[in-house]
Chain A
């Protein structure tokens, strides 16, 4: 009994350790600036002043829409192309199939540091700097997604595919009409991981986007924090960080089970 109590005390302490800083961030972002130096957990009055400052100083709403557009485009592309290549690798016979598979495995082990500079130069030469193309196109193919789909499709009975072929479906119809509805867990896993990774990506946008109206949300918030425009106003900084956290936290609250499952089955982190 005592042991159980100790365990719960430790767990509650641990839970607070991971959640309390976020509560503090939200509560401080809602406090009037003169209350920030105190340790009060709940501000005496709720003030939207910090949020107003953020919206006035940086195009954060625009950045939110940019991020949404970029992340959704990448996720859609990765699902469509990833499942297509995964299908070819798992169910079709052609020479060189194994080679393609090894190439994909090779790219998974390749550190991104090596391609960072030459990829930027490519963007310059394509004249894609300061366009969404540079944010989206390099990410449309994802080795990890292809492998996930390949593994998943291999577990689907061949009979299902043969039956569809008998009914006169072509390969793309088989993939998107027959296999997709039978692969919802794989679609969710790949979708969540891809969306999260692209929503949180910040190094690449900092490199290829200089035009403020095209910037992504993490980029705008980062530049606000380090660029001096926050004028060391703590409230405004925390308000911008809160705004950046809200979309993904909301998604997490609703799809929590899928988030944890997706990330642990793949053992991948951002």
Chain B
């Protein structure tokens, strides 16, 4: 009897989760599968259109453009993030003064809203009055069209995103570096190992889980970019910063193409899962885990 009663309490305690899950996750997923075969602007009646949304997606320049843009973001953001984080983590791993202070400073942009960071960098990137171009001019170099050149706009956003997130990875790399026992390096020195060998065979394995995390979270982050292009460029110039979420937002809440926006959302989500899955497989094979 007591066991039974405890059983019921267990069910009662997970019940709020199950209800919430059914309404806000399970139902929306099922509904989006349904919506993908329809045209609907919420107000007028829903119209069945068969596979039209899929056909449209395959031939949609903006859909493919947003994927290319995300790739451009990742190609710049991921290596930059790893190198910068590793560089500062190595510095912080030495015996230095004020380590806590530096840690806190690097971490500051991580906690501040993306809206603040974007508004701030919009000014830094300004063509005539922006801080970065003024520095370039003072150094006798040419100005860069950070946000106004189609080639530079997405890289500029990738640099800004690195600045915002890198503090987190500095700390995570630091934890990895500190977990390596000092005598490993001493032994390697005795054996006459080069700097590169020490890095490859001692340092790298200890920070590998963090590198893995940077890759996965950056991929998700790249496909989730929204507020940065929304504020800075609204997708321009020439659609070079049109991100996946910005495109869904435009289709859904600007044109009210609910069926097509749901189709986009579904395919982007599948793409994210696929890419993350492949990355995971690749990294696991590479490290023999």
Contact = CB atoms under 8 A, between A and B. Distances in A.
B113 A248 contact: yes
Contacts of B167: 18
Nearest to A208: B253
Given A18-B106, A203-B226, A207-B253, A25 B120 contact: yes
Contacts of A244: 113, 115-116
A144 B110 CA distance: 19
Contacts of A202: 113-115, 226-227
B236 interface: no
Contacts of A94: 6-7, 10-11
Contacts of A218: 113, 115
Given A14-B102, A88-B13, A113-B244, A252 B111 contact: yes
Contacts of A242: 116
Interface residues of A, number: 84
A267 interface: yes
A196 B111 contact: yes
B126 to A, nearest CB: 9
B119 interface: yes
B46 to A, nearest CB: 11
Contacts of B16: 81, 84-85, 141
Given A81-B17, A84-B13, A226-B234, A118 B31 contact: yes
B25 A107 contact: yes
Contacts, number: 251
Contacts of A85: 13-14, 16-17
A256 B103 CA distance: 10
A117 B252 contact: yes
B28 A119 contact: yes
Contacts of A89: 14
Interface centre among A121, A237, A248 (most CB of B within 10 A): A121
Nearest to B109: A18
A133 interface: no
Contact of A7 (B7, B96, B245, B273): B96
Interface residues of B, number: 89
Interface in A73-113: 81, 84-85, 87-89, 92-95, 97, 100, 103-104, 107, 109-113
A117 B112 contact: no
Nearest to B23: A122
B231 A222 contact: yes
A110 B25 contact: yes
A260 B244 contact: no
Interface string A116-141: 11111110100000000000011011
A126 to B, nearest CB: 9
A138 B175 CA distance: 35
Given A92-B9, A226-B230, A269-B165, A116 B265 contact: yes
A115 B28 contact: yes
**Pairs of residues from A and B, 6 with the lowest C-beta to C-beta distance, nearest first:** A118-B28, A94-B10, A92-B10, A88-B13, A114-B269, A111-B269
Given A21-B124, A207-B253, A221-B116, 20 more contacts: A18-B109, A25-B120, A92-B10, A104-B17, A110-B25, A110-B29, A111-B224, A115-B265, A118-B29, A121-B35, A138-B24, A171-B13, A202-B227, A222-B231, A225-B122, A238-B120, A249-B108, A263-B171, A264-B171, A269-B110
Interface of B: 3, 6-7, 9-11, 13-14, 16-18, 20-21, 23-25, 27-29, 31-32, 35, 42, 88, 91-92, 94-97, 101-116, 119-124, 129, 131, 134, 163, 165, 167-168, 171-172, 175, 213, 217, 220-221, 223-224, 226-227, 230-231, 234, 244-245, 248-249, 252-253, 258, 261-262, 264-266, 268-269, 272-273
27 contacts: A8-B96, A8-B97, A21-B121, A22-B108, A81-B16, A87-B13, A92-B6, A111-B223, A113-B268, A114-B266, A114-B269, A117-B265, A121-B42, A122-B24, A122-B31, A141-B16, A141-B17, A196-B111, A202-B227, A234-B123, A238-B123, A240-B119, A241-B115, A263-B107, A263-B168, A264-B172, A269-B217
Interface of A: 4, 7-8, 10-11, 14-15, 17-19, 21-22, 24-25, 28, 37, 39, 81, 84-85, 87-89, 92-95, 97, 100, 103-104, 107, 109-122, 124, 137-138, 140-141, 146, 171, 196, 199-200, 202-203, 206-207, 218, 221-222, 225-226, 234, 237-238, 240-242, 244-245, 248-249, 252, 256, 259-260, 263-264, 267, 269-270
